[in-house]
Amino acid sequence: MKTLKKYVAMLALASLVLGPVQALAATNATTTLTVASGSAGTAPVVEATWIEETTPTAAHLESGDTTHLTYWVDASSTVSNSQILPPLVSGADKTLTVCSVVRDSPLSSISGVWADIYYPTLMDETHCANMLGNKQWPLTRVYDEMTQVTAAKNRFNAAVAAHLVRFATGKDSSIILQEIDDQATRIYCGTFLLNYEDPAGLYSFNVRAMDTTSLWGHQWDTFDYTGVAGIEIDFANYGLNYGIVNVNSWVQVDGDQPSVVPNAWTTAANPTVRNIGNVPVTMTVWQDRMGTAHDVDINYKARMGGSTATTVAYAPYTTVGLPDVLALSAYSKLDFYVNINKPIEGQTAYTGQLVLGSVGVPLGTCGSNPIPSNERFLASNI
C-alpha cells in the first residue's frame, strides 16, 4: 500500500509540471536574429577541388581514366579531371568523394563546407541539370591541421599526381603544400552516391565554404560520368529454344514483359533484356548458321519492344542493329524468328550461338562522350 501511495503522488506532481508546458506550446512568438556580418574579417577561399572514386577502384582514384591522361590543363579548358565508369550492375551505386582545400584566417572561423552537385544538362532527361540528391552534400575536415600535416600532404599529393585537382586562380600544388606545412589551410571531404542509372555526362559541382560571420568562398568544378552501354538478359542460362520447326516456315519465340510491373524479370523461356548502363541503348544481333551446311540454308529476324518495334532480318554471321531504343534502366521483351529452308539430310537437331550487343545512344549534350559497346554471349538451339 505504501508503494502505491508514492506512485499516486508522483503522478499528481507530473501532471502539475506538464500543465504549464502544454499551455506554453500553444502560444505563438515571433523570433528574430541577426547573423554577424563579416565586414572586418576575411572570406574563406576554396583553393582547390577534386573528385575521387572511393569504391571499388580506390587504387586508381578514377575508374574511367586509370592512367590519368585526361584532365583540365588551363583556365580555358572544359575537360574534366575525373572520369568515372558506371557500375553496370542493376541497382548498384558508385561511392565518390568530393574534396577541397579551404583556407581562412583564422582557420577556426570556417563553420561549414558543402558541395552542390548538378546533373548534366541533358535535353531529354527529366532530372536535367537538377541537384543530385536534391541536397547540399556536407564536407568535413579530414585532417587536423596541427597534428596531421603529413597525412594531409599525402592525400593532396596523391590527387595532384593523378591530375584530379582543379586549382583556384593563383594557386598551385607547391603553394598549397607550403600552406599545409604552415598549418594555414585545411582539407575538407565528403562522400556522395551515383546510381547505375544516373545519366552519363558532365556533372558540375560547386564547393562552398562559409565562415562564422557568414562570409562565403566557392569554386566550380566538374567530373565526367563516362557513358557506357550495358545490357543484361534473363535467358543467358536458359538459352533460346525455337522448339520443333517445319522446313520453310518462320517460327518465333516471343519475349515477355509484365504489364503490371513492367520493369521486372519474368520467365527465362521468353526473352527479356534490361538496360544496366548509364546511356540509352539500341541492340545488335549476330547469329551463326546453327550447324546447317550453308549460310543461305537458314535465316533470322528479331525485334525489341513488341509489336510496335521494327523487325530486322539477318543472315548468319552478319551483325545487324535493332533500331528501337531501350531507355535508362528500362526492360523490354525480345522476339526472335528463325526459318530453316534446307536442313541436312538425316539431321534433326541444330545448335548455334547468338550474340547480343548494345550500342549507346547519346542523351542530349552527352553525344561527344565515347560510348563503348558491351556484348553478351549465349547459346541457342533448334
Interacting residue ranges for Ca ion, rule: CB under 5 A: 41-42, 65, 70-71, 104, 109, 211, 234, 256, 266, 270, 272
C-beta of 218: minimal distance to Ca ion in Å? Answer: 14
- Residue number, 42 or 373, with CB nearest to Ca ion: 42
For β-strands 251-253 and 331-340, DSSP reports them as antiparallel
- Residue number, 42 or 381, with CB nearest to Ca ion: 42
Are the C-beta atoms of 273 and 334 separated by less than 8 Å?
yes
C-beta of 23: minimal distance to Ca ion in Å? Answer: 44
The percent helix, strand, coil of the chain (3-state, each to 5) is 15, 35, 45
Three-state secondary-structure class, residue 53: strand
List the Cα angle 51/57/59 in 5-degree steps. Answer: 85
C-beta of 22: minimal distance to Ca ion in Å? Answer: 44
Handedness of CA 315, 320, 325, 330 (dihedral sign): positive
C-alpha cell at 61: 582514384
H helix intervals, 212-257: none
- Residue number, 104 or 221, with CB nearest to Ca ion: 104
C-beta of 139: minimal distance to Ca ion in Å? Answer: 17
CA distance 52 to 65: 12
C-beta of 116: minimal distance to Ca ion in Å? Answer: 21
C-beta of 68: minimal distance to Ca ion in Å? Answer: 5
- Residue number, 37 or 311, with CB nearest to Ca ion: 37
- Residue number, 70 or 282, with CB nearest to Ca ion: 70
- Residue number, 53 or 256, with CB nearest to Ca ion: 256
C-beta of 215: minimal distance to Ca ion in Å? Answer: 5
C-alpha cell at 13: 506532481
Q: Which residue is nearest to Ca ion (CB)?
A: 272
Q: In what order do the strands lie in the sheet with 110-118?
A: 82-84, 216-225, 201-211, 110-118, 137-141, 185-195, 93-103, 45-55, 166-167
C-beta of 338: minimal distance to Ca ion in Å? Answer: 18
C-alpha cell at 49: 577541388
For β-strands 185-195 and 93-103, DSSP reports them as antiparallel
Three-state secondary-structure class, residue 282: strand
Backbone φ and ψ for 156, nearest 5 degrees, come out as -65, -45
- Residue number, 70 or 95, with CB nearest to Ca ion: 70
- Residue number, 220 or 238, with CB nearest to Ca ion: 238
- Residue number, 230 or 316, with CB nearest to Ca ion: 230
| Amino acid at the residue 101 | V
| Amino acid at the residue 365 | T
Counted residue by residue, the chain has a size of 382
C-beta of 104: minimal distance to Ca ion in Å? Answer: 4
Nearest CA to 238 out of 45, 379, 55 is that of: 379
